[in-house]
Amino acid sequence: MSLIFNPFTQKNVTLNNRIVLSPMCMYSADDDGKVTDWHIVHYGTRAAGKVGLLILEATAVESRGRISAKDLGLWNDEQMAGLKQIVSFAHSQGVKAGIQLAHAGRKAEVDERIIAPSAIPFSEGGPVPAEMGPKEISEVIQAFADSARRAKEIGFDVVEIHAAHGYLLHEFLSPLSNKRTDEYGGDLEGRSRLLKEVIKAVQAEWGQERPLYVRISAVDYHPDGLQIEDSIALARLLKEWGVDLIDVSSGGLIPNPPSRIFPGYQVAFAEAIKKQVGIATGAVGLITTTEQAEEILGNERADLVFLARELLRDPYWVLHAAQKLGINDLAPNQYSRAF
Ligand SMILES: Cc1cc2nc3c(=O)[nH]c(=O)nc-3n(C[C@H](O)[C@H](O)[C@H](O)COP(=O)(O)O)c2cc1C
């Protein structure tokens, strides 16, 4: 019995299989953050390829929170129509659709005021962000909530809050980038306060019918940064706050961390969180084969397997996996003569 094709239900949402298109910026939006033909074709192809869930790329909740001027955005109603088209096609293929809501913080490369927990640049000599005051903190919380309301109206099945890779929410979580002395800094409780307030505000709009995921960077690869023990403690809080699944990545807070990259290099973090905290996790990072995916699921190291670059190379990875595992009726009718 294949574990990849074992459905996964949380709340009112059932994924037909355990393979997730990991969020990946396409840097192909209009300057106003709207979907272009590229997104329609790119996401549509992965939907025809029958992933269980596709999670759309980091989508900015504020224009100053974009990683680049070519990011998708969901800070106004005009940005909804193109996203609706992607979701509607995914649903026609029996595929669920999620969106990653994001704020780039000090890593924003746009021509606007750049904000962060503390006035510390990402890289030496890089642009110095402004330390956020109370007004900017409440604007960001509101922006996440407004985007979640739009995501719900569009018909997304999952919202993922991006709290990884050195972007704004991760900047608050890490003691390397958060030197605040107010209630948003200090110990884990303080450093996770903004994330908690964002989660609560998102839940108020998103509701309880559909799952909420959070992506974290489990470690900062720096002796004074986040360690796996910190992320396990954070995961306990996320569980308490009602998060349904933690998508466990790593790094991104500092430039050029010491590299430790090998197949499945982040799976142990997802496993530690799942086993020690008892919350569903997603594993990601250099997972490329059906054998790897089956191993991760079979040994209960994670509940979902996120693939990123492998699904750029092969949008039909799931159809090929099905063929290998003797499941022959998965391809869209239009392609049945090929599979
Ligand atoms: C082109 C590209 C864009 C990415 N954009 C995002 C993003 O928007 N949000 C995010 O959380 N991770 C992003 N990532 C990271 C991937 O989701 C994934 O975690 C990483 O590539 C490791 O998985 P892989 O080895 O399967 O590629 C991006 C990766 C790539 C290659």
CATH class held by domain 8-335? alpha beta
C-alpha of residue 165 to centroid of ligand 1, in Å: 10
C-alpha of residue 47 to centroid of ligand 1, in Å: 18
- Angle at the Cα of 300 from the Cα atoms of 297 and 302, rounded to 5 degrees: 70
Give the residue, by CA position, lying nearest to ligand 1 atom 23.
285
Looking at the predicted structure, is the pLDDT value of residue 93 above 80? Answer: yes
Can you tell me which atom of ligand 1 is nearest the CA of 286? 25
Can you tell me which atom of ligand 1 is nearest the CA of 57? 8
Lining residues, ligand 1, CB within 6 Å: 22-25, 57-58, 100, 162, 164-165, 215, 249, 284-287, 307-310
C-alpha of residue 22 to centroid of ligand 1, in Å: 6
Pocket residue to mutate for ligand 1, from 21, 22, 245, 289, most atoms within 8 A of Cβ: 22
Give the residue, by CA position, lying nearest to ligand 1 atom 29.
24
Looking at the predicted structure, is the pLDDT value of residue 150 above 90? Answer: yes
Can you tell me which atom of ligand 1 is nearest the CA of 266? 22
Provide, rounded to the nearest whole percent, the portion of the chain with pLDDT above 70. 100
Q: What is the mean pLDDT of the chain?
A: 97
The whole-number average pLDDT for the span 211-239 is 98
Give the residue, by CA position, lying nearest to ligand 1 atom 26.
308
- Nearby residues of 256 by Cβ (< 8 Å), 6 or more positions away: none
pLDDT-derived band at 260 (thresholds 50, 70, 90) equals: confident
Give the residue, by CA position, lying nearest to ligand 1 atom 21.
308
Longest dimension (CA), the chain: 64
Looking at the predicted structure, is the pLDDT value of residue 213 above 80? Answer: yes
Provide, rounded to the nearest whole percent, the portion of the chain with pLDDT above 90. 96
Can you tell me which atom of ligand 1 is nearest the CA of 100? 9
* 262-275 pLDDT per residue, tens: 999 999 999 999 99
One-letter-per-residue 3-state SS of 181-224: CCCCCCCHHHHCHHHHHHHHHHHHHHCCCCCEEEEEECCCCCCC
Give the residue, by CA position, lying nearest to ligand 1 atom 30.
24
The whole-number pLDDT of residue 328 equals 86
pLDDT-derived band at 226 (thresholds 50, 70, 90) equals: very high
Q: What's the Rg (C-alpha) of the chain? A: 19
- Helix axis angle, 80-92 relative to 134-154, nearest 10°? 40
The whole-number average pLDDT for the span 197-217 is 98
Give the residue, by CA position, lying nearest to ligand 1 atom 7.
24
> Beta strand pairing status for 280-284 and 245-249?
parallel
pLDDT-derived band at 175 (thresholds 50, 70, 90) equals: very high
Give the residue, by CA position, lying nearest to ligand 1 atom 1.
24
* 288-325 pLDDT per residue, tens: 999 999 999 999 999 999 999 999 999 999 999 999 99
The whole-number average pLDDT for the span 141-156 is 98
C-alpha of residue 20 to centroid of ligand 1, in Å: 12
Residue 291: CB atoms within 10 A of its CB come to: 10
String of DSSP letters for 147-166 = HHHHHHHHT-SEEEEEE-TT
The whole-number pLDDT of residue 231 equals 98
The whole-number pLDDT of residue 24 equals 98
Looking at the predicted structure, is the pLDDT value of residue 1 above 80? Answer: no
Cβ pair 180, 193 in contact under 8 A: no
